[in-house]
Chain A
Amino acid sequence: MINNLLVEMKNIKKNFGRVQALRGVDFNVGKKEIVGLLGDNGAGKSTLIKILVGYEKADEGEIYFEGKKVSFNSPKEAREMGIETVYQDLALVNLLPIWRNFFLGREIVKGITLSIEEMKRITSEYLKEIGIWVRSPDETVFFLSGGERQAIAIARAMYFGAKLLILDEPTAALSVGETRKVLEHINNVREKGLSVIFISHNIYHVYEVADRLVILEKGIKVGDFKKEDVTPQEIMNIIAKAAGVILKEV
């Protein structure tokens, strides 16, 4: 059977002491697919992702990446396989210029010296190529907006050959216009052939770009829909119902 899945997580269970964070979750991401991962606080979204990228170990269950069984011991191992995570606030060093951030940890060096001009040039060119406009690669990240920072972190992951991009609340704390831009970048990412896991509280943001929506609640997968088969309102109802709140049908 030709497997068209990039990520396959099977029957993942994880307990923290007596708390059952995940109670047997199946989670897949197809190639070139954008999957929205939804759920309330404490639903198990971040635990699932932490297990995928190697921050945590699952108590039970199996993970396959590109059809091969994997078990990452650290996020570094996951990154080497092409899984990049972009966190809202933790991705960039604000006091450093864009180009230093872009190549941080993967600097181009000639002998012992940094190839500064080359790194600046590549940063400029690549950002331009994928439609991110910045005045200069020398600009300090501190002076960029939240959306620009997010875009640069995404661009960096793409440039360094990520196959799967995990975005943790990429649109939280962004203005409407900036959110629009970030959602555009996510669409660009798919066009470049990457898969995306988009974790968010905001159902509308996820709905706009996702191909499929997965809903977790209290450590259980309570929904897995193709976008065509579901409306944002229905998703809202599922989340509310799982949390014990009954919303009026509209």
Chain B
Amino acid sequence: MSESNGDRAPEELDSELLTAYLDGELSESETIAVERRLASDSGFRSQMQDMQNAWDMLDALPAVKPDVAFVRTTVEMAIAGRQRSGISAWGPRIIGALAMLGLPLTLFAVAFFATRESIEQPERELLGELPVIENYDRYSRVFSDNDPEQGIHFLNSIYERGLFSEVEELFPVDSEDETEEAVVDLVATTVPPSADMIQDRSDRLTSMTDQQREDLFAKKQKFEALPQETQTAIRDFHNLLSNDPDRDRLWESLVSYYDWLKTLRASQRTGLLDSPIEKRLGKIREITRLQAEQAFGRLGATKLPVEDAEAFYGWYDFAITCYNPEIRKRAGKVFSDIRSKKGLPILEDDVSRVMSGPIGQLVDFLMRQDRENFGQLIAAKANETQYGMRELENQLTRSSLLILDGLEVDEKRELVLRWIEVANKTRFPIQTTKLKAFYETLPVVTRDKLDNMHPDDWYESLTRLYWEAENIVKSAEPAEEEEFRRFLRENGLDSDFEIDDFDEAPY
């Protein structure tokens, strides 16, 4: 307290005094003075308590655990760096000696060649192994024990089990932009790159920003700091991948998996990478399911409490399966009614083709064209069965029941329908291509804002914008039934319906 207090506000001085008191930074006499004032001044005491409570809350910050390999890779990198610097240490010594001899011209020449070497030599090395360097961090996430075959088996399993289908939409789309180019460049390192390929890679390097080039060189250094056997295993994996007849689908699995890893917490990631393949695949299934449920709980204007997402999802999933025949029958009827209202002939073949369409599209169709009855089918009529609304209520927690209890029957049904809409978005998610196309239509400012977000927030915000835009379009143009028209198109029925027909239809 010996510093000059100048003309600072008394609150500011009090705050500093209390901070120093709470941090134990006051002298004994200063501490006594503060404590006396605390005893007599309730405002001062309350200020101190609020400050301390806020400070105590910091204990709730989540603990962060580094990757299990952190210590090993750090120590290895440090030692590898020492070995490299041991070799290059001659450079400055020679330059020093030359400078001492007063040979400026020689110094210039050494500097010139040294600079040229430092830029060109690594670039030359980089061109030869560009795909390996660019992708080694992806590669190193799919296999362990330096067993590249294991990685290929893992990617095949991901593809065959369709592991990311439920949460594909949670990924950032960044990597997909690279995919096409990278697949083209999947050439085994055992094959000498052609002149064209070298030229392409060189062009790629040239078109990079300084920062991107710097990042790439840092990546190269990190790769070179790995133990020799790890480097060899990564190269072998690249070669296996490049030579695999299914390399495109394996590549897709690799990109999906790597992008998905970014959506995990560090602890989840660490646990996964350490697990043997079968266990890892099981864990992926488990986590993706949970993510889908959480995303489901987050979406939508009326939030279903997250803790009930699983119960609701399960109930709805079952209802869809249980009422599959009714849904198909109803879709056929609604389809016939539409045609009838248009004065179009009702062909049995067309109706049965509609009825045998994908269940997701039929649900979507009914939710748009026959929402009320669909609700009756799933929720209200279901009172008659053991899987109906009552059963749902039995499964929900108090938080959801509190929401439902305050509603009239109609309102309750409407709310469940809205939850169903949300469930549809998760069960039948937005296609990545649609989301990507939507992203492209956004103003630069909005895209900039989105791109500065964490991938989780990025996805959440983008989907929110997407649904908002969708709802605006729908309310402005109720007949814009893009989904349904696509469905008709895919089933060869689009010629029966003109866009104008939809616009006029009173649905």
- The answer on A and B forming one complex is no
User: What is A's interface to B at a CB cutoff of 8 Å?
Assistant: none
